[in-house]
Structure 1
Amino acid sequence: MDSGDKRIEEELSHPIVLSERVRSAVDEAESFKNECAEVGKQVDRLAQMLRTAVRFATATPTLYERPIRRVVAEVSKNLERALTLVRKCKRQSALRRVMTITSVADFRKLVASVGDMKWLLTIFECNGGGIVLSLPPIVSNDPIIAWVWSSIASIQMGQLHDRIEGTNELTSLAADNERNKNIIVEEGGIPPLLKLLKEGPSPEAQIVAIKALYTLANDPNRVRTIVQEHGIPIIVQTLANSPMVVQTQAAGLVARMAMHDPLAQEDFAREKVIRPLVTLLSFETFMDEVGRQSIHSIVQINRNLEKKTLVDKTVEYNPNASSQWKSNSLCYMEGGSRGGNCRKERENERPEIKLKLKISCGEALWMLAKGSVSNSRRICETKGLLCMAKMVEKEEGELQLNCLMCIMEITAAAESNADLRRAAFKTNSPAAKAVVDQMLRVINDLDNPTLQVPAIRSIGSLARTFPARATRVIGPLVVKLESRHVNVAAEAAISLGKFVCPENFLCMEHSRTVIELNGVPLVLKILGENEKTQMYGLILLCYLALHAGSSEVVDQARVLTVLEGADRTMIALHPELKDLVGKAISHLNLYHAGMGVHSKGHLGLP
């Protein structure tokens, strides 16, 4: 049986048996009696400490076993060495002239085991009360392990203030470097942190536990460990039931884990984390929307009210019913129980606390949606898309950006998935209309590239959802082709390319719209600016030539000449575009036979 599978009492019984054998061998020694007597003293001390450890282990329900197993394994090895050497002293023999009892190194190991056991008992005798700064000999070359052991023991076995202190110490160690984080996980630090979070003896304890987990959760393997230790249900429960300051930290942890592990994204969604996140993000705007709720939403509100009545009657008829249970039940209600405890607590919080919570929820939804069609669909089904559109409209700063980024991820998912695109972005969908309106407002009215880039990208991702005469959405993109911000101009070119590419059923109509809005001169202009806008500008120009090559504007702008020049210069930088440029040139030659002879071998701006 592997030592990790044995009960801790079994682990401790083996060195106790060994110590008794060593004691018997010491009593039988006929040579090196003084040396053997010294060994016997050390073994007696070890046996006494081991028996104390057994009594402690059997009386402690929340025992932290990792250092016990490590120390006891080393003690057992040293006792076996001592037993071998002492047995050789049983008779007088020729060995007396060639052997010295217990080499200095072996004797020191025995003394070191006494030091290890003394350190171990120092931690456990006070039930993990406080951090032990001394070092056991077993880890003298790597003191971090001892500090990690001491901290975890405090979290798992100490009183509340000791658990908080131990958690803060663990967070401090984790913040130093990645190696410390791995040691904490390897030494079993995740389960006691989750236990502290689940038990929630105080908001402070929950917050420090979440901060420790957050510090550890910047690596996929460590995030997997949190998931494997059943951490996700605990985090979701904390998000649903805790005070607002704790919910803020919990939402941040959801974002961190989802960002570093795609599997955690799906695990969180299966635990239904999206609905409470959307609810917390939108709680202050709920009453403004009551008048516009769907019939389904009104029915759900009535059901919630019935649940609240049932809870109240249960408490009335059973005075011993848990008040905490009543509070937790009300926390899950999304609309009808505005008079519930959780809503009152949220309403009475300071504005800065409410804002931090919304920022964290927005980030969590963004990370959950990133690269995930299924999570994007879930967010849309919980009216999260409409909620984020309202946040973009009403808010500023980090909250507005997080919601914009989440919308960008949802629209990217819709671009790759026709079912989601049809379900969430139907022409008559209030959420889809709100999203488009806000993206266009950001593009038109806000001179902020950080916000404009995701807004432009979102419009591009929705290119296949717009009708033939999409001047309202194409026009702002054309204007941004001449933006002084390179990234904005490049994104505008990319998004316009999605309107006029062959995969878009209305590419011919959209191409004519771009040309009517004076897009060709602007595309030609960005071809001569920098490499990034050059590449996407060239792609856009080729699509325009393929789908609206007969236009007089294309002819007058000498697009054929430009493309022929690009075929000799820019293709060297972007060889993947050679076929596209060749097709565009061939197509234009159908309408402008002989125009190629005027090529000047450069970008030929009009």
Structure 2
Amino acid sequence: MEAAAFQVERTLQQELSLPIILAERVIKSAQEAESSKNECSELARQTNRLSQLLRSTVRLASSTQSLYERPIRRIVADVSKNLDKALTLVRKYKKHGAGVLRQVFAITTTADFRKVSTLLENSIGDLTWILSVFESDGTNIALPPIASNDPILAWVWSYLATVQMGQLKDRVDAASELASLADSERTKKMIVDEGGIHPLLKMLKEGGSPEAQIAAANALISLATDPQRVRMIVDDFGIRTIVQVLNDSPMRVQAAVANLVAKMTEFNAAAQEEFPRENVVKPLMNLLSMDTVLDDPTIQTGRTSIHSLVQINKELASGKHLNSHIGANSLYSDGSSRGGHHRKEKEVETPETKLALKVSCAGALWKLSRGSLANSKKITESKGLLCLVKIIEVETGELQYNCLMTVTEIAAVAESNTDLRRVAFKPNSPFAKAVLDQLLRILQEESNVDILIPAIKSIGSLARTFPAKESRIIKTLVCHLADGDMDVAIEAAVALGKFACPENFNCVEHAKAIIEFNGVPPLLKLLKTNDRAQLHGLVLLCYLSLHVGNSKVLEQARVLNAVESMARSVASQHPELKDLFAKTGYESDACEECFSLYRTVVFS
């Protein structure tokens, strides 16, 4: 254990001292050989060349700052092994008695010299290669013998050496090559194992040019597709570096780093919870909302905390309205994310660059908010929701979609967190009203399925926040039960199920509204389609019968008969439903069992 710890702490100079000593011993023993002098002389010549290369490596290590040591240590370890074999061989030919010599000649052949000579020649090739890599800034594309069976290893070493030690242009090219090289899990693991994360993070932080920072960010993005690799980025203080770059860099760099945030968050839940500790939401929200005017007479300027949201609601109730006309960078009053010395550059950036940055920031916020209470709170504690719905209203394409998905994820978190739901989505608050208005507008005007489905999911997640009188939501969702796209119809049934489920305080009123807006016929049609549609249709019909069992509409539509006729086929695919469908009359305990199963199968 102690020996292992000592080995880890050895400097590169200490590592190099051992093979140099071994080389001197090989040369001395070869000179003292009494037989096979030509062979021993050849080994001494090779060893002398190795000794020179080792001393050149020592000079390199002593004179180079931020030396990339990984390949040197690996090669030097092999050199030491080969020199040790050479020393063992030549010592057999030192002066001994005649009997001993005869035994040596009997067991030693020319093949032994040939084998050791090949090993030494390979070591010479390895050291020559690594020195040429450092002298040529990593542009040497030849393969060292140590990587003859795995050329990618040599490329990784060469590119990482350049990233850590090369000139600016060469570093940019090398980082880009690493990103291209990381096209398989094996290569990505190799880059990380060979110490690639730290120099890339350093390049991202210090850069030297926007191109260098972008290349480093893209290389890290290519590596951040595995929880363990993301964890290594986090452990190397990567999140702090990322947030610093987001706060004060050119827009092109910020866009690349925002993409890195999204990728890390997507593949590692721990990273998702580490980011709010460095308050990554602040620069992301400020960048997303640049040039966006939030004009709402009911919202005050400056940072809005959970406490402030409650206060705003009180002021609204008492008639105290505060006027504001604010832009993006006012979301946080301290202005720490205003871009520093890059502000003038941002003022002249092209619309395309600004759009790309907003798309990246919205994508990062989407991934950050997914299943995360901490990040969802960070977004809703500012006027983030208002900014998101404003962009959803005026934008199209990927930016609109990413913002909508962020709202959808926040709503999903609020569905399972009472405090967030009551504060951020209180029906009378301007934030909730702005969200609802845009979601309803999408449901009423949008035909794009990719936009419709997350909007429907959002409304379903917020079902318990709506009062009984909010019938326009029910009416709009019922219309989508008959949507030509089956996925949209199913999501509408899921959302309506959350309105009518027993856990919803207004479930009876919502169930009546579903029937009143003629929701039963399209539900019955869902029973004739795919398995998922049948499941959600049956559950919703169960809720309707539980809450409005005396409805003439249900009786005339023979809902019970329809459900009973479908029960056997559905139960064959969902055996856990057999007992449920065996019950008759939609008794309350049956419906409670239905709800419990539905919550387990659908909401989990």
The normalised TM-score by structure 2 is: 0.88
Deviation string 1:498-534 (CA, Å, 9 cap, x unpaired) is 0111111211111111111111122112212232212
Show the counterpart of 1:47.
51
Q: Choose from 267, 275, 292 the match for 1:285.
A: 292
Deviation string 1:75-126 (CA, Å, 9 cap, x unpaired) is 0001101111111100251135312364322221011111111111112234
Q: Which moved more, 1:562-571 or 1:244-253?
A: 562-571
Q: Is 2:248–2:338's contact at 8 Å kept on the other side of the alignment? A: no
Distance 1:361 1:445 in 2: 26
Show the counterpart of 1:215.
222
Q: Is 1:366–1:403's contact at 8 Å kept on the other side of the alignment? A: yes
**Residues 582 and 500 (structure 1), Cα distance of their counterparts in 2 relative to 1, 3 Å cut:** farther
Does residue 458 in structure 1 map to residue 458 in structure 2? yes
Does residue 256 in structure 1 map to residue 263 in structure 2? yes
Q: Is 2:286–2:331's contact at 8 Å kept on the other side of the alignment? A: no
- Residue 448 of structure 1 and its aligned partner are, at CA, apart by 1.1
Q: Is 1:19–1:79's contact at 8 Å kept on the other side of the alignment? A: yes
**Residues 292 and 507 (structure 1), Cα distance of their counterparts in 2 relative to 1, 3 Å cut:** closer
SS at match of 2:93: coil
Show the counterpart of 1:294.
300
Q: Is 1:56–1:125's contact at 8 Å kept on the other side of the alignment? A: no
Distance 1:14 1:84 in 2: 15
Does residue 276 in structure 1 map to residue 283 in structure 2? yes
Show the counterpart of 1:360.
360
Q: Is 1:338–1:344's contact at 8 Å kept on the other side of the alignment? A: no
Distance 1:174 1:588 in 2: 58
Show the 5 A alignment for 1:139-218: 139-175=147-183, 177-218=184-225
Show the counterpart of 1:530.
530
Show the counterpart of 1:231.
238
Show the 5 A alignment for 1:68-87: 68-87=72-91
Distance 2:59 2:336 in 1: 55
- Residue 174 of structure 1 and its aligned partner are, at CA, apart by 1.2
Distance 1:338 1:362 in 2: 18
**Residues 450 and 400 (structure 1), Cα distance of their counterparts in 2 relative to 1, 3 Å cut:** same
Show the counterpart of 1:30.
34
Distance 1:168 1:492 in 2: 45
Show the 5 A alignment for 1:60-459: 60-92=64-96, 93-98=101-106, 99-100=108-109, 102-126=112-136, 129-175=137-183, 177-286=184-293, 288-289=294-295, 293-294=299-300, 296-297=302-303, 342-459=342-459
Show the 5 A alignment for 1:427-576: 427-576=427-576
**Number of positions where the alignment pairs a residue of Structure 1 with one of Structure 2:** 557
- Residue 407 of structure 1 and its aligned partner are, at CA, apart by 0.8
Distance 2:251 2:365 in 1: 17
Q: Is 2:248–2:339's contact at 8 Å kept on the other side of the alignment? A: no
Q: Which moved more, 1:570-579 or 1:81-90?
A: 570-579
**Residues 342 and 435 (structure 1), Cα distance of their counterparts in 2 relative to 1, 3 Å cut:** farther
Show the counterpart of 1:596.
none
Q: Is 1:241–1:331's contact at 8 Å kept on the other side of the alignment? A: no
Q: Which moved more, 1:550-559 or 1:77-86?
A: 550-559
Equivalent position amino acid for 1:27 in 2: Q
Distance 1:493 1:331 in 2: 37
Equivalent position amino acid for 1:225 in 2: M
Deviation string 1:541-581 (CA, Å, 9 cap, x unpaired) is 01100111011111111112222223333322333334554
**Residues 344 and 96 (structure 1), Cα distance of their counterparts in 2 relative to 1, 3 Å cut:** closer
Q: Is 2:531–2:570's contact at 8 Å kept on the other side of the alignment? A: no
Q: Is 2:179–2:218's contact at 8 Å kept on the other side of the alignment? A: yes
Distance 1:369 1:226 in 2: 20
**Residues 331 and 10 (structure 1), Cα distance of their counterparts in 2 relative to 1, 3 Å cut:** farther
Equivalent position amino acid for 2:186 in 1: R
**Residues 139 and 172 (structure 1), Cα distance of their counterparts in 2 relative to 1, 3 Å cut:** same
Show the counterpart of 2:324.
none
Distance 1:370 1:336 in 2: 26
Q: Structure 2: any 5+ residue segments left out of the alignment?
A: 306-328, 591-604
SS at match of 2:140: coil
Distance 1:247 1:90 in 2: 68
Distance 1:350 1:474 in 2: 43
Q: Is 1:251–1:364's contact at 8 Å kept on the other side of the alignment? A: yes
**Residues 337 and 409 (structure 1), Cα distance of their counterparts in 2 relative to 1, 3 Å cut:** closer
Equivalent position amino acid for 1:512 in 2: K
Show the counterpart of 2:318.
none
Equivalent position amino acid for 2:18 in 1: H
Equivalent position amino acid for 1:111 in 2: E
Distance 2:336 2:15 in 1: 56
- Residue 153 of structure 1 and its aligned partner are, at CA, apart by 0.6
- Residue 292 of structure 1 and its aligned partner are, at CA, apart by 5.5
Show the counterpart of 1:599.
none
SS at match of 2:514: helix
Distance 2:57 2:436 in 1: 67
Show the counterpart of 1:316.
none
Distance 2:393 2:199 in 1: 42
Distance 1:542 1:568 in 2: 16
Equivalent position amino acid for 2:260 in 1: L
Distance 2:332 2:167 in 1: 31
- Residue 348 of structure 1 and its aligned partner are, at CA, apart by 2.1
SS at match of 1:432: helix
- Residue 585 of structure 1 and its aligned partner are, at CA, apart by 2.4
Distance 1:339 1:220 in 2: 31
- Residue 190 of structure 1 and its aligned partner are, at CA, apart by 1.0
- Residue 166 of structure 1 and its aligned partner are, at CA, apart by 1.5
**Residues 580 and 345 (structure 1), Cα distance of their counterparts in 2 relative to 1, 3 Å cut:** farther
Q: Which moved more, 1:423-432 or 1:352-361?
A: 423-432
Distance 1:484 1:330 in 2: 43
Show the counterpart of 1:318.
none
The normalised TM-score by structure 1 is: 0.88
Q: Which moved more, 1:454-463 or 1:17-26?
A: 17-26
Equivalent position amino acid for 1:563 in 2: V
- Residue 41 of structure 1 and its aligned partner are, at CA, apart by 0.6
- Residue 582 of structure 1 and its aligned partner are, at CA, apart by 5.1
Q: Which moved more, 1:565-574 or 1:61-70?
A: 565-574
Distance 1:69 1:531 in 2: 60
Q: What's the Cα RMSD here?
A: 2.5
Deviation string 1:188-243 (CA, Å, 9 cap, x unpaired) is 11111111111121011111111111111112222112112211111111111001
Q: Which moved more, 1:541-550 or 1:552-561?
A: 552-561
**Residues 206 and 292 (structure 1), Cα distance of their counterparts in 2 relative to 1, 3 Å cut:** farther
Distance 1:540 1:339 in 2: 51
Equivalent position amino acid for 1:476 in 2: T
Distance 2:48 2:339 in 1: 67
**Residues 331 and 275 (structure 1), Cα distance of their counterparts in 2 relative to 1, 3 Å cut:** closer
Q: Is 1:66–1:188's contact at 8 Å kept on the other side of the alignment? A: yes
Q: Is 1:173–1:180's contact at 8 Å kept on the other side of the alignment? A: yes
Equivalent position amino acid for 2:81 in 1: K
